[in-house]
Amino acid sequence: MQKAARIVVVVFDGLRPDMVTPDRMPNLFGFAQDNLWFREARSVFPSMTRVATSSISTGAPPAVHGVVGNSFYYPAVTTGHILDTSLMADLTLAESALGGSLLCGETLGDRLAFHGKSFAVVHSGAAGSCYAINPRAAANGHWTFSVLGRDASRTPEAVDEMVARFGPLPPRNLPRFEETEYVTRVFTEHVLAEMDPDVALIWFNEPDTSFHYKFLGSVETNAVMRAVDIAFGRILEAIAARSGGEETAIIVASDHGQISSSGVADIAALLTEEGHAAARPADRPIADARITVTGGNMGEIRMVDGDLDRRDRIARWLMERDEIGMVFTPSEDPVHGAVPGTLSLALAGMDHARQPELVYVLRSGAEADPYGLPGLGLITGGVPVGGGMHGGLNRHELNTVLMLGGAARAGASGITDSPAGIVDIAPTVLDLLGLAPASSMRGASLMHPELRRAAPLYEAFQTRNGAFRQQLQVVRRNGHLFPMHGGRLG
């Protein structure tokens, strides 16, 4: 049964739910009071944008969609460099090697197209993130606009149309005020007011970008949070102004959170010093590297020649280092990784055929950053120390904003601690339109009353090797595991 005439999805990249406060985001805070807020919603691991975007579109963890990192070494596509999923050139390379989309499984866009439903996306994130939200947008007959231009959209005519109507694309400044304004106009004045699609989605690149480079609680970051909140207020007004606005379902989400960085541990450099010549994503070609290493505050390590003895030595070396928070390896076992002391990638939802031989997460904790926000951890680099980062399993990286409003509220309101996550967005959108989920989806429709009030049952799994002890907390719901929080013990 169809429960809503139309759906509007609003995504704030990187937004932490504990930062949705009356002073920072009054419109969104007010919306949360009137609607249903899944306060313990979770991202996936790794909690990175393209991985999480793929989980939003496929309704499934990386174990299903196979985008196992923002960057990952993927010899089936190229042995020349580490695949960078932010770049359209690398996505095109992957598509030609794989004979189809980089994402495995069916997406929300695919299901909507199958049922003849329209889907419009307005995006201000990287080309790869814009791609992952509806990889087959053109074949599906859908409409995707990227504020980064024609080359960042699989339906470049959408960019041409909007430039003709609203003028040249805005400059890229930090914070991204101009881009926020431009995409808000496209979404409210064009998509909602005129296109009137069955499903409309807008993706704001803030506050993520400012968290990274201007720090989580800074004056400038607070200013851009206010700007996207004002944009949200305009979106609510535009929905109300549509005919049948009250029959619109509104889903507000973020893809992951962030924590502040406290220092640098350059794992690739340290491993090279140890005799394991390491290539990073920027190394094109990877030349005579023995291993590939990605970074952020976690990363994958792959053996270029498949030498598992080297992998085992590196895993043991990592577990001896104070900077390391967690270590994972592939395994048939649901909990224990192949190397003693490591956790299984299956427990974190990363056990895809493309999974790496080794995953590390840098140490992080619940300590407050200089702005009083909990969550502090090491990074390999990439942003200034003090800047925000995400990718790991700290609760403040994994905890996402997830709110259901309008017709999606279905009489409920207030805060629920029921287990939920970004994997539930696609099944919920489909259910609102009276459509079944794809068989590859592992999330569930949050319109089911029992999923709105279930109390989370935490399970904790620990492994150890010498002084190294780590723990991952998960919640199980109908066979799907939500990683809730992980880190080193002691």
Residues interacting with Zn ion, by CB under 5 A? 13-14, 49, 208, 255
Q: With b meaning 16 or more CB within 10 Å and e meaning fewer, what string describes 3-27?
A: bbbbbbbbbbbbbbbebbeeebbbb
Query: 344: which strand partners?
Result: 329
Burial bucket for residue 462 (CB in 10 Å: 0-12, 13-18, 19+): exposed
How near is the Cβ of 55 to Zn ion at its closest, in Å? 11
Number of neighbouring beta carbons within 10 Å of residue 198: 18
Residue whose entry in the numeric block shows the structure tokens 């070396």: 317
How many angstroms separate the CA atoms of 266 and 273, rounded? Answer: 11
Nearer to Zn ion, 197 or 391 (CB): 391
Number of neighbouring beta carbons within 10 Å of residue 100: 12
Q: Is there a contact between 301 and 359 (Cβ–Cβ < 8 Å)?
A: yes
Amino acid residing at 15: L
Residue whose entry in the numeric block shows the structure tokens 């329209």: 118
Q: If residue 70 lies in a helix (H) or strand (E), which one and from where to where? A: none
Query: 379: which strand partners?
Result: 264
How many angstroms separate the CA atoms of 124 and 264, rounded? Answer: 29
Nearer to Zn ion, 49 or 86 (CB): 49
How many angstroms separate the CA atoms of 191 and 181, rounded? Answer: 15
Nearer to Zn ion, 152 or 358 (CB): 152
Return the ∠ at Cα 396 (arms to 391 and 402), rounded to 5°: 95
- Tokens standing for residue 295: 């970074």
How near is the Cβ of 459 to Zn ion at its closest, in Å? 27
Nearer to Zn ion, 49 or 222 (CB): 49
Nearer to Zn ion, 13 or 40 (CB): 13
Nearer to Zn ion, 49 or 188 (CB): 49
How near is the Cβ of 205 to Zn ion at its closest, in Å? 8
How near is the Cβ of 333 to Zn ion at its closest, in Å? 31
Nearer to Zn ion, 5 or 373 (CB): 373
Burial bucket for residue 255 (CB in 10 Å: 0-12, 13-18, 19+): buried
β 119-123/364-368 pair status: unpaired
How many angstroms separate the CA atoms of 413 and 382, rounded? Answer: 40
How near is the Cβ of 391 to Zn ion at its closest, in Å? 10
| Plot region of 132 (φ>0 → left; ψ -120 to 50 → alpha; else → beta) | alpha
Nearer to Zn ion, 129 or 144 (CB): 129
How near is the Cβ of 389 to Zn ion at its closest, in Å? 11
Nearer to Zn ion, 17 or 341 (CB): 17
How near is the Cβ of 47 to Zn ion at its closest, in Å? 8
Nearer to Zn ion, 132 or 338 (CB): 132
Q: Is there a contact between 248 and 400 (Cβ–Cβ < 8 Å)?
A: no
Number of neighbouring beta carbons within 10 Å of residue 168: 7
How near is the Cβ of 50 to Zn ion at its closest, in Å? 8
Nearer to Zn ion, 14 or 46 (CB): 14
How near is the Cβ of 184 to Zn ion at its closest, in Å? 19
Residue closest to Zn ion, measured at CB: 49
Nearer to Zn ion, 253 or 286 (CB): 253
How near is the Cβ of 191 to Zn ion at its closest, in Å? 21
How many angstroms separate the CA atoms of 160 and 154, rounded? Answer: 12
Nearest partner of 188 among 202, 167, 199, judged by Cα = 202
How near is the Cβ of 255 to Zn ion at its closest, in Å? 4
Nearer to Zn ion, 327 or 422 (CB): 422
Q: What is the DSSP string of 185-246?
A: HIIIIIIIIII--SEEEEEE-TTHHHHHHH-TT-HHHHHHHHHHHHHHHHHHHHHHHSTTGG
How near is the Cβ of 166 to Zn ion at its closest, in Å? 25
How near is the Cβ of 143 to Zn ion at its closest, in Å? 22
